[in-house]
Amino acid sequence: MAALGWLTPRRRPATARSVLAGEAAAEAARKSALAAGPEDVPAALDEDREPAFPVAGDERAAAFFDLDNTVMQGAAIFHFGRGLYKRKFFQRRELTRFAWQQAWFRLAGVEDPEHMQDARDSALSIVKGHRVSELMSIGEEIYDEYMADRIWPGTRALAQAHLDAGQKVWLVTAAPVETATIIARRLGLTGALGTVAESVDGVYTGRLVGEPLHGPAKAEAVRALASAEGLDLERCAAYSDSHNDIPMLSLVGHPYAINPDTKLRKYARARDWRLRDYRTGRKAAKVGIPAAAGVGALAGGTAAAVAIHRRRR
């Protein structure tokens, strides 16, 4: 029953750390968007569009997209971890942990806060002492290696519809803001709200600013960004697969449940929210479980992690 606390921002108000994380994410997102030039945005893609929505020319509207399992199959932090392992940032036993968490995420199709927190703690310890610029450069390579082929075409088309209507489109994710910013730029989006890791003189300290951008913190980030950008949230849209993002979805006038988990699907149907499911294959019928069709097997440690798990059962 504890999960019910996420259902609305009123039932579980944001903590001071959530507000701090949200405001830090909004500030980082605006800085990265202002720094990007027109040459950073690729040409529009020819994909299916939503016919009646969004409203073209509405500059006070914007769209906010969750990343993991909404825009991209799997979790960005795990893909990033695999890329860092390839570059010898850490040892095989840590890769096995990353791989098992990713396998669980892919099979369950929902976020587990404990798993996600463990992954973030691991990532912070790994990047501590490294320069931000170094990780940004590596992140570009990791996107090409592990993430580019995992973008959901249907969700990408929804984002493009907002861009074509002249609206800004932001990713909102618990992934590191640097990783999220790379993904947003590669997709031609406006920018990204993500978890902000503290850095001093361009070097990571191993600490966060506030807390991970998860649950109520996402809503705080969207609220802060909307205020800074002069947006009308009633005219904005938000997209997510997870019931953890109900606080964010509830902020806007046009909430969408994308590839929804069981709790979000039920909540969305009760409120007549729009639903889209881009998963394919028979498993997609089982709410909350991503389809196996078209999904490449996880490299290296995943098979080993699953085998270890089975032996321990």
- Tell me the residue length of the chain: 313
Write the DSSP assignment of 230-289 as a string of letters: T--GGG-EEEES-GGGHHHHTTSSEEEEES--HHHHHHHHHTT-EEE----SGGGGSTT-
DSSP 3-state of 203: strand
φ/ψ region of 82 (left if φ > 0, alpha if ψ in -120 to 50, else beta) reads alpha
How far is Cα 199 from Cα 28, in angstroms, rounded to an integer? 12
Which residues share a beta bridge with 172? 66, 193
- Give, in degrees to the nearest 5, the angle at Cα 159 between 185 and 19: 70
φ/ψ region of 259 (left if φ > 0, alpha if ψ in -120 to 50, else beta) reads left
How far is Cα 239 from Cα 254, in angstroms, rounded to an integer? 9
Helix-, strand-, coil-residue percentages of the chain, each rounded to 5? 50, 15, 35
Active site residue 68: yes
**Spatial strand order in the sheet of 62-66:** 191-195, 168-176, 62-66, 237-240, 254-258, 274-276
Catalytic residue among 40, 48, 66, 277: 66
Write the DSSP assignment of 48-93 as a string of letters: ---SS-SPTT-TT-EEEEE-BTTTBSS-HHHHHHHHHHHTTSS-HH
- The token duo for 191 is 């920018």
Catalytic residue among 40, 48, 68, 118: 68
How far is Cα 122 from Cα 191, in angstroms, rounded to an integer? 25
Active site residue 245: no
Q: Hey, which residues are catalytic here? A: 66, 68
